[in-house]
Structure 1
Amino acid sequence: MTEATKTVCVRHEAAEAFVATLLQASGVSKQNAEIVARGLVQADLRGVESHGINRMPSYLARIQNGVLDPTAEPTIKQVTPVVAQVDGNNGFGFPAAHLAMETAIAMARTFGIGMVSVKHSNHFGMSAWIVRQAVDAGMMSLVFTNSSPALPVWGGKSQLVGVSPIACGAPGGEDSIPFILDMAPSVAARGKIHKALRRGDKIPTDWALDGEGHPTDDPEEALKGVMLPMGGPKGSALAIMMDVFSGVLSGSAFAGGVTGPYDMSKPGDVGHFIIALRPDLFVSLDDFRQRMDVLYQRVVGSDKMAGVDRIYFPGEIEQLTERRRRKDGIPFVQSEIDALNTEAKKLGVAGLQVVP
């Protein structure tokens, strides 16, 4: 193990404060900086490092290149009593998505359901943190987004649709955990390719094709090619669905028009689609929670296939990881800490402190 690949740990409170300070030094308001920081650190806590604070150098580069407005505030327009639209105004996607879910929740409390479309946004990190916002408010939710082209449509060979996550959630019962699903329609999220490149790791050969259309274990070559959809035409169709609901419907970019967070050429113009609904629309809340308990127990108590020690509910592994990392700290390799502290030095703020 080299010095650069040595693992160190950071307290989640320190990571949040560090990211918020970096963003405020870059012109982001205190409130928006704290929203972005929470979203990124939640990803690291849940073990989704591909969408954690290591995204900061690319976010800051977008500000510095003038393709993301750090001072932008999302604005909202009410369309019907249960439908609204947020304009991200080319600011960070995190505050736009947070406002959208906050609005959807408020409508759902009154009318049972709330739907919000978001346009002219940017990357909003891990979808599960927005689902968690709804779960914490006692709501069920659907969270869609589109993203920059990385997948071919089934039968094609060029990048056209994004590795756009499908996410949803529901509160748990008294004896179960919340249901939180956050999955990409590809074999792996594209952020995992960037993470492997950053850490000098290889990737499984079934994740992506290189620029010549061959399987590769080299993340640098994979980023020149295409990601592979899960389930062949099924994954491709799900990625197209994200474009329909997030891009076409919202008035944002679609069909390969979204700009990714590592592309400094133009604004992202990402679209999101968010729904919140009360879990007591069709059964009482007590009944709903009891039914969730039954579902959880039947899932985790299922007969196990050979070689399996434990069956997990969707989102359970991430919740266990979060519990552990809140106690022990979030692991990073030293090269990642160095990259973040380089950004801090540029902005004249204190570096990220690791756990002694």
Structure 2
Amino acid sequence: MPIFLYYSLISGILIYTSSSLFVISPRLSLAFPIAQLFSIPLSILIMADTQESSESRRIHVAASEARRLVEDILKGNGVPAENAATVARCLVAADLRGVDTHGMNRIPSYMERIRQGVLNAGAQPTVNQVTPVVAQVDGQNGFGFVAAHMGMAAAIESARVYGIGMASIKHSNHFGMSAWLVQQALDADMMSLVFTNSSPALPAWGGRSKLMGVSPIACGAPGIAPTSDFILDMAPSVAARGKIYKAKRRGEKIPLDWALDAEGHPTDDPAAALDGVMLPMGGPKGSALSIMMDVFSGVLSGSAFAGHVTNPYDPSRPADVGHFLIAIKPDLFMSLQEFRERMQYLYERVVGSDKAAGVERIYFPGEMEQLAQAEREKTGIPLVQAEIDALNEEAKKVSAKEFVTISS
């Protein structure tokens, strides 16, 4: 008779039998025969989340100061002022929303790509209006933020007139947090869909080697208040790859159900995870979603696809990322006010629904990030000393003023 032991911190169930120990993870819909794969103490399996406890040991930086430093570093590396402002705004927006994996800590890797000549700092993307509702943007191997911003702007303008607009973007680079493009559409009272492809990290379902990217899918719809805006931004993997890079940078462990090492074993070591493969959310479903992102973002646009997108941390060659963006006018079938009121009703139904045991609050998609932003706008963006040092080092290289921090 198996003995069941529930452990909530890594969202799984341990099942012990006379012959083996299994971890069942509901996020993966899989069971791993842990004892047969490797031998680890049970204490290592039960991982505490150190985010809250380590927050007090971090140094806080005001958003305005973060944008200033990032802009200075970018301009010092040859990025035109307007483009530098766009990139800085998008990166710091991620930090404010608590998406630290896609924030200003990306700057050192971006600057290395510029120094190695595989990212065009001075690129000015071009827009070709293919039809009244379809635009194609050539990113000219510049920053993905700039190309995607131009693409969403073109889609929004088409949607204002025709109800819907679409932009396909080729020869681009990493554009950070997808939610900032959703927010660009929300600021124009638009619904949106945001797709991108990315470098290999996931195996095809049933495979063992990296092929597809952890390419996020994002979409949004305006509510009455910012907290009731619908903002979905998620990777088709159990966790975003940026979280593994962040854990490696900060010397932290990762949950065992995020990735496999190069030998196919579950690992809590972020370095081993990056050498191995990430695991798709929901097994074959996450795998299929990552392929879908490649179809719309890579195949359709003319960019790299099928495992040929370059990792943003690899300065050996251009990335050739593709994006696919749609803007939709929400008042096509009713007034904008009625649409917002219907969204508010949906919001209230979701957050007011019956809570499961142990749940204190139910959040609408994007609401937690909105609350994080409100808090960080007051208290600043938390960084560890190593992250401050890395950004200051980039500032020194271009004789820019280093960080002025709030507190530690």
TM-score, length-scaled by structure 2? 0.85
**Alpha-carbon distance in structure 2 between the residues aligned to 1:25 and 1:99:** 23
- Listed one character per residue, the Cα deviations across residues 75-128 of structure 1 (whole Å, up to 9, x for unaligned) are 000100000100000000000000000110011001100000000000000000
Once the 2 structures are TM-superposed, how far is the Cα of residue 173 of structure 1 from its aligned partner? 2.2
Q: 1:41 aligns with which of 92, 108, 117?
A: 92
- 1:123 maps to which residue? 174
Unaligned segments of structure 2, at least 5 residues: 1-49
Greater mean alpha carbon deviation, residues 238-247 or residues 285-294:
285-294
Counterpart of 1:12 in structure 2: which amino acid?
Answer: A
Alignment CA distance shift 1:237-1:14 (3 Å): same
Once the 2 structures are TM-superposed, how far is the Cα of residue 289 of structure 1 from its aligned partner? 1.1
- The answer as to 2:251 corresponding to 1:177 is no
- Listed one character per residue, the Cα deviations across residues 136-170 of structure 1 (whole Å, up to 9, x for unaligned) are 11000000000000000100000000000000001
Once the 2 structures are TM-superposed, how far is the Cα of residue 175 of structure 1 from its aligned partner? 9.1
Once the 2 structures are TM-superposed, how far is the Cα of residue 6 of structure 1 from its aligned partner? 3.7
- 1:285 maps to which residue? 336
Moved over 2 A (4+): 173-176
- The answer as to 2:401 corresponding to 1:353 is no
**Alpha-carbon distance in structure 2 between the residues aligned to 1:32 and 1:159:** 33
- Listed one character per residue, the Cα deviations across residues 210-250 of structure 1 (whole Å, up to 9, x for unaligned) are 11111000001101000000000000000000000000000
Alignment CA distance shift 1:175-1:133 (3 Å): closer
**Alpha-carbon distance in structure 1 between the residues aligned to 2:226 and 2:188:** 18
Once the 2 structures are TM-superposed, how far is the Cα of residue 287 of structure 1 from its aligned partner? 1.6
- 2:289 maps to which residue? 238
**Structure 1 vs Structure 2: percent identity of aligned residues?**
68
- The answer as to 2:60 corresponding to 1:9 is yes
- 1:161 maps to which residue? 212
Greater mean alpha carbon deviation, residues 279-288 or residues 311-320:
279-288
Question: Aligned-residue CA RMSD in angstroms?
Answer: 1.4
- 1:207 maps to which residue? 258
Higher relative contact order (CA 8 A, sep 6+): 1
Largest Rg, 1 or 2: 2
What secondary structure does 1:84 align onto? strand
| Contact 1:261/1:268, CA 8 A, preserved across alignment | yes
Alignment CA distance shift 1:302-1:31 (3 Å): same
- 1:251 maps to which residue? 302
Once the 2 structures are TM-superposed, how far is the Cα of residue 182 of structure 1 from its aligned partner? 0.1
- Listed one character per residue, the Cα deviations across residues 13-55 of structure 1 (whole Å, up to 9, x for unaligned) are 0000110110000000000000000110000000000000000
- The answer as to 2:342 corresponding to 1:303 is no
**Alpha-carbon distance in structure 1 between the residues aligned to 2:157 and 2:276:** 43
Counterpart of 1:299 in structure 2: which amino acid?
Answer: V
| Contact 1:120/1:269, CA 8 A, preserved across alignment | yes
**Alpha-carbon distance in structure 1 between the residues aligned to 2:397 and 2:57:** 24
| Contact 2:227/2:367, CA 8 A, preserved across alignment | no
Alignment CA distance shift 1:348-1:158 (3 Å): same
**Alpha-carbon distance in structure 1 between the residues aligned to 2:119 and 2:263:** 32
What secondary structure does 2:325 align onto? strand
Q: 2:125 aligns with which of 62, 70, 74?
A: 74
- Listed one character per residue, the Cα deviations across residues 243-300 of structure 1 (whole Å, up to 9, x for unaligned) are 0000000000000010011011110000000000100112221221111011000000
- 1:25 maps to which residue? 76
| Contact 1:6/1:334, CA 8 A, preserved across alignment | no
**Alpha-carbon distance in structure 2 between the residues aligned to 1:286 and 1:271:** 35
**Alpha-carbon distance in structure 2 between the residues aligned to 1:198 and 1:174:** 36
Once the 2 structures are TM-superposed, how far is the Cα of residue 343 of structure 1 from its aligned partner? 1.1
Once the 2 structures are TM-superposed, how far is the Cα of residue 349 of structure 1 from its aligned partner? 1.0
Counterpart of 2:306 in structure 1: which amino acid?
Answer: A
Counterpart of 1:50 in structure 2: which amino acid?
Answer: T
- Listed one character per residue, the Cα deviations across residues 156-209 of structure 1 (whole Å, up to 9, x for unaligned) are 000000000000001002596210000000000000000000000000000001
Q: 2:106 aligns with which of 55, 64, 78?
A: 55
Alignment CA distance shift 1:185-1:75 (3 Å): same
Alignment CA distance shift 1:337-1:35 (3 Å): same
**Alpha-carbon distance in structure 1 between the residues aligned to 2:226 and 2:382:** 30
**Alpha-carbon distance in structure 1 between the residues aligned to 2:316 and 2:226:** 50
TM-score, length-scaled by structure 1? 0.98
Unaligned segments of structure 1, at least 5 residues: none
- 2:245 maps to which residue? 194
- Listed one character per residue, the Cα deviations across residues 306-342 of structure 1 (whole Å, up to 9, x for unaligned) are 0000000000000000000001101001111011111
What secondary structure does 1:59 align onto? helix
What secondary structure does 1:273 align onto? strand
**Alpha-carbon distance in structure 1 between the residues aligned to 2:285 and 2:182:** 23
